[in-house]
Structure 1
């Protein structure tokens, strides 16, 4: 360009759409309001708008889509209260490591000094600290560059949501185009640190591995299995892992760690080295003493998350991409690892009964699912039983929420199904969890997704019943949920459903749901007995 050439000018709206095309973000998840209309005007034919009927559902769908595709999702929310509605699942998206750029409308700049209707006060501060980056650009022409920066930060490990507040009159302002930059943020771990870790692993006689969700998120599963086999050590899944961490039918897999300090210590303290890969050290949910931290046993952590590494109470942290670090570490170890043990025996199939037990329902669900089905789960009180009856084997085939906040998995399952339209997606959800974001069923119907929603109805918050027992709390209110009809709710949004209460009804309904061309709901009335989440200490 010579000095006499005038730079190309366009509008903020057109520059943003061109940028999103370059970034491959042509699917937008949204719930619109008046402050978003200038962005939605003359919607481009090469963009897809996925409508959710409530903002938390919108973010949950984008989260599932982002995690299933491994790409950044684009979200468009309404200003002020609309962002507030979404914040529960924004928190979950951060804990899940789901990359997304969230944009929200804002009132026009001229009105903002006078606290207008639908104006967001300190909009950029509202979603903090649960977004990695948040901005309301100082000038209208800075909006496309702010979105580009938000994308880069969202896709830097650990992945997570970012936020851009956009006054509604900014879209028509003039600006220069913003080209997408090449972006390769992954870094390899320090070779010297890997060599030191290899020496420690080689010297250990009884090493153990704890593996977390970062492995699947980085598509590093095969490298993880190869490293574990080279070491020949038992493998635990980290507490509350939100994805498959290690194939659960592998001979080295020994189980899922509880989120209890005593339980973690009991499982690991007999070993002379603990290698934690793609997980914190450690995620706890109940108080207690972890004797492991005082035992002097070396802990080596490999992770992409500098914050969790810094917060670890002890151990050596090695930061960097697992997809680069795991093969590099394996190459430093002797090829003749320890002999593999025999696979763990599977539990005997549960017996049929009326009312149907959770174990039987999950056993039959596992048998009914196609081999390539994807499971999205939010049934906390049944998770230990799910682990026992539904071993997960394939990378990318399991998702749940890492935050503990309910209301993610039903819209998350919709997002996963949008990402993998050719595969059956199963949402396993509790009756309490379902009520946090039932609107997602409507989107599944409109998109004609092959989604089977299995509601485990134990007429209450089963996890709260369990924790009441652990904490010796009696007569707590707000735990029972009588009078809910999930089939009627689904049918009201155009989704067929069946209620089942016997083993025979369960078998037929699951077969129908797995063969349906669109979404179908199966409500299973199960024995409301108290789930055992943690042993009382």
Structure 2
């Protein structure tokens, strides 16, 4: 005999699966879910729905398990969709529950009602449902959780009418789904034979390596075959130690430039990445003649649309272990290591390059770096190497407003201080995250680079012959004062000579002292987009 309500059954399932930190922005259609809110649960309020989703994503990446998000009906889901898009493209497991008006009112198109709620977040969720009956809500939610955690991981969506929460329902026990799978041994043997015979192999490391915690296996493969190692274009994760002598750099999201970087190699093996992520159109082919591509990834859809190469659908850790065991010790020489960039000069104004050189000297290698500064991303990559799995997080999709809340959620996952480098334009999409950081004493040091506008858009405009670009100037905002109004302590610096002490103060705070924001006025850059310093 049923003795539980939908709410009680859902709370029990959330507790059993470890989803006791709930991220959201509450509304009227979710109120019944909060009746008798359990004392062992933590509610993390985002002052805008995309902030709630971004914080949940950071928490999921830190805990390596799905995070629970509560959104408000159609309007709240609409506000959150940019962040949901990022989570989907970056394979972040989220269980998103949105309120819906009462079942008795839905036919009348009520205030705050969602028309076709299961269609609204598509195609940027792995699944989306509104249960047919209230009694089905716990089972549908449990299925959604398993779907979110199955490779390739990602967000799922469940719409729950507000009068369902007090209806009777059977509790659902969590169950285990083992999601690792290995490719056909013959396919891996054929790849091993090709790698043994080739002259100049390379690996392209994508976000899937970090997502599947396969950095050690990727490193072992690279060392066995003495391959040059590149990070895939606009990757949202780390996946290979950047101080390693085999590491060559970051591939640009332009077809001709990408093909030129990989032209010296006869066999390229891409791991957990779609490889051909472009931001700027040109007429170049994806690869130069003589470059053969093999592609290992857990997503059969991604394997299907790849324009060239041989795809092997597999999870990475078991496949890379088997592949490495099949390979003999090579007799080829390793590629030369990439040169270090020249030290940034001290000029009249703070340059991003100087900031990154000083940051590199002060940032412990075991700390996480979150980035959302599109204008300066190439310079950051060149000057602040990341060596640990999970040590770098950003958006691999491009919807701005991801960095600040992602950093807050990631810091709440383990309560260790991390650094978030953000541009002024990016920060304004989700500046409300500073309030959540202060309220929950999230140990984040925000380094905000203020170049007075959307400099990445200006650079892209110059590249395609559009200049000036209207609407790209946003100068005059006092981010330190704005942060302090949210309860986040802050400081500002404009003189390069005061930058070392300012960074020491911002980075030297303990893990229990909450957030801090350092507002830096930086010189703008007129560099060419996606042309790295090494040429």
Instruction: Quickly name the TM-score band, shorter chain normalised.
Output: over 0.9
Deviation at 1:302, TM superposition (A): 0.5
Contact 1:12 1:171 in 2 (8 A): yes
- 1:331-370 to structure 2, matched below 5 A, reads 331-336=325-330, 338-341=332-335, 343-370=337-364
Contact 1:104 1:165 in 2 (8 A): yes
Contact 2:419 2:446 in 1 (8 A): yes
Q: Are positions 1:479 and 2:472 aligned together?
A: yes
Q: Are positions 1:393 and 2:351 aligned together?
A: no
Counterpart of 1:515 (choices 485, 502, 508) is 508
Contact 2:24 2:52 in 1 (8 A): yes
Q: Are positions 1:383 and 2:377 aligned together?
A: yes
Distance in structure 2 (CA, Å) of the matches to 1:141 and 1:509? 57
Deviations 1:225-259 (A, max 9, x none): 00000011111111011111211111111110101
Contact 2:262 2:291 in 1 (8 A): no
- Partner residue of 1:532? 528
Deviation at 1:290, TM superposition (A): 3.4
Counterpart of 1:204 (choices 187, 198, 203) is 198
Contact 1:236 1:254 in 2 (8 A): yes
Report the CA distance shift for 1:475/1:342 in structure 2 as closer, same or farther (over 3 A).
Answer: closer
Q: Are positions 1:27 and 2:21 aligned together?
A: yes
Distance in structure 1 (CA, Å) of the matches to 2:331 and 2:162? 61
* Other structure's SS at 2:39 match: coil
| Number of corresponding residues | 530
Where structure 1 has 5 or more consecutive residues not aligned to the other structure, the ranges are 1-6
Q: Are positions 1:174 and 2:158 aligned together?
A: no
Counterpart of 2:281 (choices 281, 287, 308) is 287
Deviation at 1:341, TM superposition (A): 4.7
Deviation at 1:8, TM superposition (A): 4.2
Distance in structure 2 (CA, Å) of the matches to 1:412 and 1:177? 32
Contact 2:94 2:154 in 1 (8 A): yes
Where structure 2 has 5 or more consecutive residues not aligned to the other structure, the ranges are none
Deviation at 1:298, TM superposition (A): 2.1
Q: Are positions 1:328 and 2:328 aligned together?
A: no
- 1:31-50 to structure 2, matched below 5 A, reads 31-50=25-44
TM-score scaled to structure 2, two decimals?
0.96
- Partner residue of 2:208? 214
The alignment's C-alpha RMSD in Å is 1.6
Deviation at 1:396, TM superposition (A): 1.3
Contact 2:144 2:156 in 1 (8 A): yes
Counterpart of 2:447 (choices 447, 454, 477) is 454
Report the CA distance shift for 1:504/1:535 in structure 2 as closer, same or farther (over 3 A).
Answer: closer
Deviation at 1:505, TM superposition (A): 2.2
* Other structure's SS at 1:235 match: strand
Deviation at 1:51, TM superposition (A): 1.0
Report the CA distance shift for 1:189/1:271 in structure 2 as closer, same or farther (over 3 A).
Answer: same
Counterpart of 2:139 (choices 145, 168, 171) is 145
Distance in structure 2 (CA, Å) of the matches to 1:173 and 1:320? 42
Contact 2:22 2:43 in 1 (8 A): yes
Contact 1:230 1:338 in 2 (8 A): no
Distance in structure 2 (CA, Å) of the matches to 1:515 and 1:296? 51
Distance in structure 2 (CA, Å) of the matches to 1:140 and 1:8? 13
Report the CA distance shift for 1:207/1:504 in structure 2 as closer, same or farther (over 3 A).
Answer: same
Deviation at 1:288, TM superposition (A): 1.6
Contact 1:131 1:161 in 2 (8 A): yes
Distance in structure 2 (CA, Å) of the matches to 1:100 and 1:175? 23
Counterpart of 1:190 (choices 184, 188, 208) is 184
Deviations 1:49-102 (A, max 9, x none): 111111000000011111122100000011110111000000010011100100
- Partner residue of 1:158? 152
Distance in structure 2 (CA, Å) of the matches to 1:360 and 1:530? 16
Distance in structure 1 (CA, Å) of the matches to 2:464 and 2:285? 21
Report the CA distance shift for 1:270/1:345 in structure 2 as closer, same or farther (over 3 A).
Answer: closer
Distance in structure 1 (CA, Å) of the matches to 2:136 and 2:286? 51
TM-score scaled to structure 1, two decimals?
0.96
